[in-house]
Structure formats: structure tokens, C-alpha cells
Amino acid sequence: MNRLDRLRGTGPGKRHNARTVAALTGNPGCSRRAVLDAAGVDKVRLAEHIGFPGSFGQSRFALARGNAFEAMLKADDCALLRSTLGAYVGGYEDLGADEDGTLSARHARTRALLLDASEGLVDHPLLTLEVAGQTVFLEPDLIAYQTGAQLQVVEIKSFAIIDGQADGTAVSAAAVQAAVYVLALRQLLGDDRVSHEVVLVCPENFSLQPVAVVLDVRKQLSTLRRQLSRLASVSALVESLPEALSFDLAQPPAAVVAALSAVDARYAPECLSSCELSVYCRHEAAGSTSALGRPVRDALGGVATIDEALALASGAASPTPDQAEAAALLRAAQRLRDEAVAVAPRPRGEAL
Amino acid sequence: MSTLVALARAQAFAEGRAQPIATVRHLHVHDHPLVLIPLAMAGEANAPLAVLLGTSVSAPRLLAVSQPRNRDERFTFTADLADAVVPYLASFGEGATEAVPVDRGRDVRHRFVDAPQVWVPNPGGADFLRLLGRSTRFRRTDGDHPVPASVPLLGQWLTWLAATAEVPGSAMLPNTVQALAMHWTTGQSAAEDAHLGSLFAWITGGAAAAREAEAGPVAGPATDPEFDNKILAPLINSSDASSGSGLSEVLLGLLMPTWERMWHSLDLLRALPEGARVGSRWDSDRDAYSAFVAHLEEDGTPQPRRDGAVAAAARLQRLENAAARYAVQRAFDDPLVMAEHRLTGAAFGGTVTLAKADRIDDTGKRPVLRPRIMVATTEPVRVEPGAALTSPARPSQKAKVISVTPTPTGSDVLLELSGGMGRKLVAEPGSVPAVGEHLLLTTLSEAYRPGAAFPDPADTPWTHGGPPSAYEDPAEAVA
């Protein structure tokens, strides 16, 4: 049993996917998430176990529509997808099957199939990516479209593109995910074999009619590369942890919480939309200025805790030399706020 | 975020209660608003599930689609929504008008004395209405899948309303989350404030109540996946057979907390004294409303899917001007907003130490009245000689900075005044600040910004796609 298996305990391991890799790069300074993901801990169950469940479910209506859209595109040997992409030549190969036992065999087959360079569509290729000193398998829900010398990533998404515009968050999430796939494909085949332009296939307007748009993900790729290289080597991090540490869910909640506190988190409000453990981390970070969001922390002169900021503003605490500038700003703000509230017209009724 | 607001956030956290960040209300609150809470069907492209609406807290009306995947039901729903909403929106166009002088009083135009105000819970609600407008305004009243005439009309109204919501300072389609967040700040992050229940609880109950409210029903338009999977899905599947499946009760139970919070929020906002310049912004809203009513009567073509090049550029400039004017007006109306500008050095307060009210400048062709005053301040002054300042107390008067002299306690600023003192060579009494008066001066200016000159749409250069094609009926096939 290696260190990572001991950290995870008895539960089955969760594998990385493009979404977790993308989220990891969204907050690269968070050691807690890096360790938990490396050990394959089921964060949803962990959060429930310690009493801070998040809601990360997906609506079955959304799933149903997504599946229906994909099935429609892939029906009859991908007839509709082919006409959307303009890819009439070549075969269609589905590497499917989500099984742990066949990982390396499928990876080898993916490799052979993609290196073959004959035109066509390859569904569910199994890719690998180096994340923080670890090789992770990715099972992207994507189609690699081989044309001539280059390979293109095709992502099928079910959000609508209306009059050429789509929801910004959905598009940027799709672009980052696609960039993860491009990166993994490039590691497999070499940089110039995989195009930095990915194809997004979405329903158009208010119908289910598919439309293909090309996204340039060069920017996401360079961000991803930089952040993956910055990710502190997880192996070193794991080595530095106490020998007996474990996040096994068979332990009582208090023991799991104690184990969590051994690994530093870097909580930001953005975590709430992307990390399953965020509700706990928010609870833990209460009282810090960064829990109010990065802009608030910066506006408060980078002072770490709320109490400290308020004490500096009221003059109750004397600033350390490197806080002098922040303290002057905070005192000025406090004075102006008091002055403005004092001269303010009184509310008509009792509002509160 | 300004340090002043950030500090208020920190105080709100420490006290466990929301803190005011405005001393006046910066938004017109209608006496008879329409409150509308849209709910979308997950997974569909902007398909409505339900709408709770009404003009009185005691009379909410629920419109629901019992089988959202059934296209015909969705069309019936839009027709019902049109019948409920369009009469309210159009009613102000049947009311009285007032004459407004234009072209320096040489002519008058008429505008309606009131305009509609539709409240949605959050920016997502406004966005939902925009897309609902987009999906209905091109619908045909004849042909294969005819809809009642009210449906494309609703589409035009919603499209127009959503467009006004993008204009800073406009109050015809306000949303409760932004309206509350403009006047109070909570002890949590801005991202968490987007949850209406939580934001409202910070203001009315405190931090603990806000945490509880977080688990409560969402204010739409997106539904909670848990709700979809556990409650909605069984109801919708069963409603294939019978209609009375209890869907309305469930939806009402989901939407009523938001409904009550929205009406209570209106009361909270009404209790604040209205800012001095809020009325003039509502005047602009009434102008926009009158123009749209006229458009519907005269021409009535639906808004294009995309603006042409000239229209888009002109609109962008209007939005930029409105944003600049709105920021200045809020600062002039509210000492707490002005304090943010004082903190950054765009404004400073001081005391008049010298005043020469009868100074005449006779170096030009005609002698002109140019009083000079000296203002002593302890605040940081980040203005250069030659800069033009104004004071919220005398918005029509300009003060040109002649010199800034550092003193042991701050600076002495020498200013030359022009305008706002009457037409004679002797200043009207009280128009020149007297010695000892406390004065606030700022680089912000309310001065009128002339619009840029744009070519006629017919002269759009080829670099911008050439003249836009004339309106043609973009009949959309029902897919």
C-alpha cells in the first residue's frame, strides 16, 4: 500500500478528469485540493461525512438533453455530426467502455489509432497527462477528428448558441476543458500534430439543430502549461505529511477534520462553484479578508484578517512597518465613512 | 472595489449585520411596480417553466407549463404571459403626457408622465427575459405554427426592456439583488451576495439567518438540480396522464419566499430618502418609454437580431455616457459615495480661508467676474493647476485651480470661480463661498457631454459591413 492509497483509505479511488484538472489550475496554490485529488479521495462524500455538503448535482433534465443531443449527432454512423463538421470521409471508431482494468490496453490502442493518421473520427480516446508529478488518465468525452496532417478536438456541448452568442462561463469552461485535451493529445503525438483550434458543436438558437464553431485555445493552453508547471510537486507534498495521516471515511468526522487541517487550503469565494469541499474551507477561512473575495482583500491593503483590518482602521492596533501604508489608507477610509454617515440625511421610516 | 466599501464589508462581518454603503436611494421605486419571477426549465435553451408575477404583494399570479417539453404548451404559456404583462407595460402609454421644451425652448415634445417598472430577482432574471424576447419577437401570427399577435408584441417589449436594463441608471427593469447590493454591503463575498435569500437575510436578519437562507429555495431562473431530480421530474412524468398533479402547489411553494423578499426589499428601498438626481434619470426613462411606444405605433418592426454598425456604435456611446453620468450623479447625491472619491483624491473637503468675491478679470475684450477663493484642506489633493473642479453644492459653478501650496497640515488651494453667479459683474448673494464655509471640491463633472457624430446608417462604410439590409421578415421555421 503506497502513501496515496493510505491517504485515501478504504474507499474506491476517483480518477482525474478534464474538469478536475481545469479546476486544479484555477486555484494552483491550494495544497489541500492537490493532495486530495492526487490520492483520489471522493470529495463529495468527504464533505458530506464532515457535515459540510455542497450541491454539485446535475439536473436530470440537463443530462437528458445533453445525451439526446449527442445521440442525435452520433446516430447513423455520425451522419449529422459529419455534415456539421464537413467530415464525410473516413471511419468512426469508439473506444468507449469505462473500465479500470483495460486502461493501459485502451491507452495503447488510442495511441496506435491516432498515430495511424488516417482520416476519420475517434471517440472516447484514453489519454494521459502529467499533473503535479503524477501520470493521470483522462477519459475525455471527445472526438478526435483526423484531417490530413492535423488532429482536431471536437467537443459536443448542449448549451445553446443564440445569434452567434453563448453563455460566457459555459464557453470558457468548455475552452479550458478542450485545452486540457489538446495538451494531453500533444503529449501523446507531438505539438504540431494537434491543432490549437478546437471545434465546439452546440445546438443553435432555440432548436436542437447543431452548429459548429471554432475556438482558438492557445491562450488557455499557455495558462494551463504555466499553471501545471507551477503546481507544487504533489509527491514532495505527500512525503512531507505525517506518516499516519489518512482521509479514510471509516474514521469519525472529527478525525477526518483533524486530518484535513494538516494540509493547507487556499480558499477563495470562487471555490464555491468548482470545489466539492469549498463549504468546509469557507467555514475554516471565516474571519480572513480573503474569504470576502480577492478584491476586498486587496482594497483592505492585503491585511490578512478582518479583525486586524478593523483594528488598524480604528487606530486600536499599531501597524507593523510593512502595514504602515495600508493602515494610513484604512484610517482615512474609516474617518471619511464616519464623517459621511454623520452628515447623512436620516431615513424616513425605520428601515431595519 | 473601493477601500471604503471593503471596510464596510469587514464591519458587516464583525457585526454580523449588513452595513449601509449609501445614505440615499439611487434608484426610482415605482408606486405600482410589476414584480416578475421567471423560472427556467433546466437543459432547454431558455424554455420557461413558470412565472410568478403581479402588481400587488397580496395577489401573486402563477403561470406554469405543466409539460415543459411539449412545444404547444410552451406557446400557450407565452400567450398567457403576454396577456398578463403587455397590458401593464402598455398602460402607461395610454396615460397623460407632458410637454418638454426642446431646442432651447423653440419647440416642445411630449412624453408620458409615467413609465412601467418591472422587478426581477437577479441579473439572471433580466437575461432570461431578454432571451425570451428573442425567442418570441420574430414569431409569425400566420403560416404553419401561428401564435396570437400578443406573443411577438411581448417579444418586442421584453427585448426593449432588457436593452434598457443595460443602461446604467435606468430603472425600468431593475433587479432586487443589484438594488440591495447598491445600498447595503454584507459580510460575505460578492459571489455569495448573488443569492437573493442570503443577501436579504444579511440586511434583515443577520449572518446566521443568511447561512440558513443559503440552503433555501433559489430565486431562479435556474432551478436547483436536487429540486429537478427529486420533485419536479416525478411531477412532470406523472402529469403526462393527468393535469392536476400538484405542480402548481410545488412551484408556488418554491417561488413564494422570493416573492415576499422582493416586496419587502421594495419597502426597504422606499424607506431610504430618494437621491436628488434620481428624478432626472427617471425622466430619461420616461423619454425612452415614450419613444418606444411611438415606435410600436408607427413602425412596429421587431428589433434586429444584431444592431447594425452605426446603431451599435451609437448605442455604445450612449451607454458610456450614461455610465459616466450615473457615477458622477451618485457621488453628488450621496456623501458616502463621494467619500470613495475623496479617498482616491478625486475629491477633497476643505474650509474657505480667503475670498475675493468681486474680483474682475479685465484682460480680455470685456471685463468678466472671476472671484478667487483659497481653500485649506488636510486631505490629499491630487489635482494640477489648470484643472477644473466643481462643488456638489454649486454644480453650475466651475472652479479653476490656480495653485496648490503645501502647508504643514495639508495644502492651500487657490481657485478662480466662473459661472453660476448671475449675469452681472457683481455676484448674486450666496453664490460665492464665504470665508469659513466648508466646501467639497471634485474633479467629477456633471457637464453635458455632446454625442459623437455618426454617419447615417445608409452611409456605413464598407469597412463596417456597408449599409445594413432593409428589414425583411426573418420568419423562423419552427424547429
- Please say if the pLDDT value at position A179 is more than 50: yes
Interface test with B, best of A63, A159, A206, A276 (most B CBs within 10 A): A206
Provide the residue count of chain B. 479
CA distance B74 to B71: 5
Rounded distance between C-alpha atoms, residue B437 and residue B285, angstroms:
37
Chains A and B form CB pairs within 8 A to the count of 165
Chain B residues in contact with A341 (beta carbon < 8 A): 20, 23, 336
Interface contact flag, B3 A301, Cβ < 8 Å: yes
Residue B473 lies in a domain: no
What is the predicted ipTM?
0.84
Q: Return averaged pLDDT per consecutive 10 residues of chain B, 479 residues in all.
A: 89 91 93 94 83 92 81 85 92 86 82 93 93 88 82 92 94 94 92 91 88 82 84 74 69 91 94 92 92 88 85 90 92 90 88 89 86 90 88 87 90 89 82 88 82 84 81 48
* Nearest-by-Cβ selection for A336 from B43, B134, B339: B339
Q: Would you call A269 and B228 a contact, using CB atoms and an 8 Å cutoff?
A: no
Residues B258 and B391 occupy one common structural domain: no
Give phi and psi for B238, each to the nearest 5: -75, -25
Pair B352, B265 in one domain: no
Domain boundary among B305, B335, B368: B305
In chain B, residues with a C-beta closer than 8 Å to the C-beta of A206 are 45-47, 135, 479
Residue B430, domain CATH: 2.40.30
Q: pLDDT tens digits for A141-164?
A: 677 777 767 888 888 888 888 888
Same-domain pairing of B250 and B355: no
Minimum mean pLDDT range among A9-18, A92-101, B185-194, B203-212: A92-101
**Best mutation target, A336, A346, A348, to test chain B (most B CBs within 10 A):** A336
pLDDT at position B393, please? 84
Structural domains of chain B, count: 2
Mutate one of B2, B9, B138 to test the A interface: name it (highest A CB count within 10 A): B9
Q: Clarify whether residues B261 and B149 are in a common domain.
A: yes
Answer yes or no: do B391 and B290 share one domain. Answer: no
| Contact list, B20 vs chain A (CB under 8 Å) | 341
* pLDDT value of residue B186: 92
CA distances from A262 to A54, A205, A237 (A): 22, 49, 11
Considering the domain boundaries, does residue B324 fall inside one?
no
| Predicted local confidence at residue B182, as pLDDT | 94
Enumerate the β-bridge partners of residue B83.
Answer: none
Give chain B's count of helices (H) and strands (E): 14, 16
Interchain CB distance below 8 Å, B3 and A203: no
Question: Do B38 and B136 sit in the same domain of this protein?
Answer: yes
> What torsion do the CA atoms of B397, B400, B405, B407 make, to the nearest 10 degrees?
10
Asked which of B246, B274, B305 is the last residue of a domain, the reply is B305
Same domain for B278 and B415, yes or no, is no
Q: Do B280 and B351 fall into the same domain?
A: no
Chain B residue numbers touching A270 (CB-CB < 8 A):
191
Within a 10 A sphere around the Cβ of A62, how many other Cβ atoms? Answer: 18
- With a CB cutoff of 8 Å and minimum separation 6, the contacts of B157 are B85, B86, B89, B90, B133
Of B273, B305, B337, the residue at which a domain comes to its end is B305
End-to-end Cα, chain B, rounded Å: 45
Show the domain range for B43: 3-305
- Is there a domain that residue B332 lies in? no
In the predicted structure, residue A191 carries a pLDDT above the cut 90: no
Same domain, B269 and B391: no
Same-domain check for residues B263 and B183: yes
Q: Is residue B63 one of the residues assigned to a domain?
A: yes
d(CA B450, CA A257): 62
Q: Are residues B353 and B276 in the same domain?
A: no
- B133 and B78 in one domain? yes
B439 vs A contacts (CB less than 8 Å): none
What pLDDT, on a 0 to 100 scale, did the predictor assign at position A348? 45
Q: What are the start-end ranges of the E strands in A25-133?
A: 91-94, 120-123, 127-131
Average pLDDT of every residue of chain A: 81
Residue B340 lies in a domain: no
Residue B86 domain flag: yes
Q: Is residue B27 part of a domain?
A: yes
Nearest Cα of chain A lies from the Cα of B3 at a distance, in angstroms, of: 5
The Cβ-side half-sphere exposure at B454, using a 13 Å CA radius, reads 17
- Answer yes or no: is pLDDT of A298 > 70: yes
